[in-house]
Chain A
Amino acid sequence: MKLESAIPEGPVEGKWDKHRFEMKLVNPANKRKFRVLVVGSGLAGGSAAATLAELGYEVLCFCFQDSARRAHSIAAQGGINAAKNYQNDGDSVYRLFYDTVKGGDFRSREANVYRLAQVSANIIDQCVAQGVPFAREYGGQLANRSFGGAQVSRTFYARGQTGQQLLLGCYAGLSRQVGLGNVKMFPRTELLDVVVVDGLARGIVTRDLVSGKVESFAGDAVVLATGGYSNVFYLSTNAKGCNVTAAWRAHKRGAGFANPCYTQIHPTCIPQSGDHQSKLTLMSESLRNDGRVWVPKEPGDTRKPRDIPEDQRDYYLERKYPSFGNLAPRDIASRSAKEACDAGLGVGPGGRGVFLDFRDAIQRLGKNAIEQRYGNLFEMYQRITDDDPYEVPMRIYPAPHYSMGGLWVDYNLMSTVPGLHVIGEANFSDHGANRLGASALMQGLADGYFILPYTIGHYFATHKPGPVDTDHAEFKRVEKEVEERMQRFVSIGGKRTPDSFHRELGRLMWNNVGMARTKESLEEALREIPRIRDEFWSDVRVVGGRSEMNNALEQAGRVADFLEFAETMALDALTRDESCGGHFREEHQSEEGEAVRNDADFCHAAVWEYTGEGNAPMEHREPLDFPNVPLATRSYK
């Protein structure tokens, strides 16, 4: 496996312009001769599919939900960043770039991050033109808020439903292309494998989730926009269907997997209420703009929160990080919450929770203003917990939320398999070891609207993939493998449901490969994962057949892939013998408990190559350098 990042020469400010000029173009009349298979209809996939179709390519778009509009992006709440500097508070492309590199704890690729910051402004223009109803001031101008890890207000939002509104904008553009016949949409269709012919990605094998039919699609390029893998923890803020299957299958066909150990644990989620819990609900980070995080100073303080006087509360983020306070980046806020709870200061059932208190903001701004800003979030909280956050502080606890790791891509967003492009949360390049709030929506739309549509043309013009169809022997071979795998699931006839294995894996990953990791916990995980996997393959029970709608079968396939992926993730975490961003190795912390990086040995992206069943994956390294934002210890004090 060769890692050629294809970063253009020259100063960072000029790279993208230069590259756009140097890339080969496809003649407009020839574009319709190229067929692109876009897997995923979230912000990344939806924007790419619509834009590629506008440009004239033939596009097929796939998603497992019953409509493109239901992709997991819909759930994003807080907002999207852009370097517009509308607030005149000193923002710029360079500052967004700088904040993102620093926020990522110097483990991202500078050139990609700079480009992301550059196109961020275009995204907002594009969305407004589509009719995305962003929040406005009375004068009619766009409103902004600030988000964790930044000292400027550059976050655009639509109430607490920013992801929904951006995705509906995207879906509208996609629908228009569907109506025009330029995109063919395949909902309720799951990718189960990728087909590589003569070294180029030429197609996919899918299962129709309604009829159970396994089918192949051939094309000139494949785009994976299949989201993140946080559900490896079972309990996460992600939608239930989010999975690693597409990325993992592509990995097994030759795509390098970069930094799988980089996962983000979000600080503000509603704590688990019992063993029945099926997912965790995020409370948008924007709440930290007005909410203050605290725990009682004394362990075991069971008084009602309102009865605990000011001097007996520890506003620990404000105390430890005076300049960022409650807006400290996510990894820091999450770990601080865990520390407080580990020290016995946690609140609520099981002591796994901290307060997020709006009392002062309500006093200062009035209940109305708070309702305007967060009304729907408060409602959601009350619905789930039965507590009224206007009256009692919210209880929050960290939960797995986002995966910074993903399939390795070069500057053109192409994986190590030529023709296989990866965009959105599914790739790895922009967020390093920690993603800043409101930057995932930005990245998904940057990739799909403004980057991939250019770079894919360059691929066609330089690689000239010839004709291929699904009768090709390789398609038949992969299809057969997929069929056999489905058959194997329904034939095992064991005693346990796929869900029970997923829960077991999730518990192990959360305890051993979660917020704080040690050599011992990771080695234990590496012993346990294969045990669970073996048990899965001998004792899982998938009721029902494969030629029909069968949720259990779908789930079994996803759990089987998580069980393989988890091992590479734990191995990556063990190999990365340093702490950085969301990857916290307890062995490597300062006296104050902050992550300590080891730049001499680990300033690289770790890219894993699949080497066959039963073999350990092989590690490759893409060195990262930071000529513009000099390596420094992150400080949010």
Chain B
Amino acid sequence: MAKMPVSITVNGQRYEREVDPRLLLSDFIRHEIGLTGTHVGCENGACGVCAVLINGKTGLSCLAFAVQCDGDEIETIESLGTPSDLHPIQEAFWENHGLQCGFCTPAMVLTAHELLSRNASPSRAEIIEAIGGNLCRCTGYQTIVDSIEQAAEQMRAGKEEAA
């Protein structure tokens, strides 16, 4: 099939490429742009590790074609913090043992990021609901929920300080 032109903004930078219509957004991010923080597990929607933000909302990048996202704004884990200057959510995951192998972590952090941007004080139940589609084979989830609770607290405190 003929390739199609797409223009997709990832982490604030515009990428113009010619792609096969069947190229998944996950493969566009990993193979075309070379950002490997977005992980891929099941590639059929079941594990949640490939979640990115599509126009500000989480979406599974294995259940979207790059051509579908022409004109969209994508954010991946690389948009949040750096190793020397972690985002408060990343900091909280680190402090609370919210990760072990780290395979599920990018999607967990981005899902938490979306949740906290629409709800600054989520309950534990709301956190569990938000990450319901994200599997973690290591932590047993409790420390992930702890991490997100603490991140929410710290981000609220940070906002008050800034005000």
Q: Do A and B truly interact? A: no
